[in-house]
A and B are shown apart, each in its own frame.
Chain A
């Protein structure tokens, strides 16, 4: 059990709240640094996937969890980042520059989508982004001179100062990128901008009446989110090494949303936990399949069913996701014999109509 004595206002916005926090996150970072030295190659590859998904998820959390805007077209930003990276690398642009350029290109696209989205809310925005996702997917399939169309596009091996960045080195690159992204987003979220974004999520009308510039901040949220998705996409391109438009369809958008919902949509930790879950679940299904009777084992539909049930479970039973559950467990343990059952009773929500009352 710990107590926060607030002696000045800066305590509220400190990046590291307590010494113990610094210790545990430091330990985690150390463990992550040791991964390529200890674990076999296959796990390093899977860890790289997790890191990349976390980068994308971080952006999605800024947009969905913090600002409250739902995007069903995030795969499009990932796709733009991935294709930009592949094309730029093929033209001989250095790795770090092309990473930055890919992110910038996705951000610009985010700006273009974000501007009309300002007038839209809730479901309409989800539908607009859905349409946008389709348009980008179709565009990628038909712009054959640039993207190779449906036959695909291969991604060159990344090199940094004439050293091929693959395997463990690429893992470190992703780790550095993720840590930098998390730091940027954390700093944004503890600034007045971040508080304004949360205010928009809770009530646009009251945020506006407190002087929050809705248009500017919603666009900012969109651009930041798109940039992170683009950056993640650029890294993703190198892992899958071969791009084709149908990889970036609606299913990827749904998978990304699912990831943040499962991880815990309000916390940045949720992006990482969700990424771990989304990468680990198919592997777990593949392992469990061997022990199941043959009738179930041969079903191709097993994975979507399991994913669907997992989403249903999290939305209906644990809407705060894995990280929310962890906070509850931690609080229970800290208060151990004294934790009253009513601490985490779910608030009853009522329908907030968007129509005229």
Chain B
């Protein structure tokens, strides 16, 4: 039970980052390899405000999420809009470069640096006994907030005007443009949304892994989650993340030492070999 919950908690973080990947992929057909770095930036923002400036916890979280959303939108506007339609390698290189620069800048800024920092959260260290299992408060908060966020996103894409516009753009850009949706602006907002989600993931992750400049490597681990769920499917991303988290913790428990780390990647290769569109995708074969 404990293993399952901690696996689920890690899976939730994977799922949130994968959600960012999928949102951006659906809107612009590019993969943001700097998603993990956005997460790191979000965690650092929260750390700066809560620890360095001694703000209360909740406002600093809100400002951190908004700030990271702004960073995401700025990246789209300045760096990715000019290379729309260029070959895959151009986009891959640009997002990888953004990741490198973000890491470099974070290590150079005063107060951030290369050290490992501690973000104090109000719910730290709490333990809850549930069904004869001892669960740590951090894991429960991660699971609950992910569930809440997913519910909010579900309604956002169902009912909100902007959410509907995003869905329309991701289905058919040309048609969306014809009915008067500003496609480029919507793409920037998708980036902002996925930046915000990354920040939430970063802040949730902070009590477990601490805040440091290589936090972003979790981003690379979350790509498998997005692939397993199918790159085109939003519920698939969260499900993929959960599967991945569970798979990792179970592999860590039952398989011999050394199988835990490659397990998700082997899973990805298998999924890509057998069903390249992912487990939850609704993609149709391309017609000429």
Contact = CB atoms under 8 A, between A and B. Distances in A.
B114 A352 contact: no
B43 to A, nearest CB: 17
Contacts of B108: 299-302, 305
Could you tell me the dominant secondary structure of chain A's interface residues?
helix
B64 interface: no
Interface residues of B, number: 56
Interface of B: 25, 28-31, 79, 82-90, 92-94, 96-101, 103-108, 114, 172-173, 220, 223-224, 227, 231-232, 258, 261-262, 264-266, 268-269, 272-273, 276, 283-288
Interface string A63-76: 01000101010000
Contact of B86 (A141, A205, A349): A349
B29 A354 contact: yes
B89 A304 contact: no
B93 A299 contact: no
A356 B88 contact: no
B100 A135 contact: no
Residue from B30, B84, B93, B269 having most chain A Cβ neighbours under 10 A:
B93
B29 A353 contact: yes
Given A299-B107, A315-B90, A352-B85, A250 B220 contact: yes
Contacts, number: 157
A351 B264 CA distance: 31
A138 B262 contact: yes
A311 interface: yes
A258 interface: yes
Nearest to B224: A131
Contacts of B265: 131-132, 134-135, 138
B276 A119 contact: yes
A357 B172 CA distance: 7
Interface stretch (A50-58, A121-129, A159-167): A121-129
**Interface size, A (range):** 35 or more
Interface string A318-357: 0100000000000000000000000000001111111111
A68 B104 contact: no
A29 interface: no
A70 B91 CA distance: 11
A166 to B, nearest CB: 34
B171 to A, nearest CB: 9
Contacts of B284: 355-356
Closest 4 CB pairs of A and B: A301-B104, A349-B85, A305-B104, A308-B101
A263 B120 CA distance: 47
Interface in A88-147: 116, 119-120, 122-124, 126-128, 130-132, 134-135, 138-139, 141-142
A220 to B, nearest CB: 20
Interface string A245-264: 00000100010011001000
A187 B114 CA distance: 49
A262 B272 CA distance: 30
A257 B94 CA distance: 12
A355 B283 contact: yes
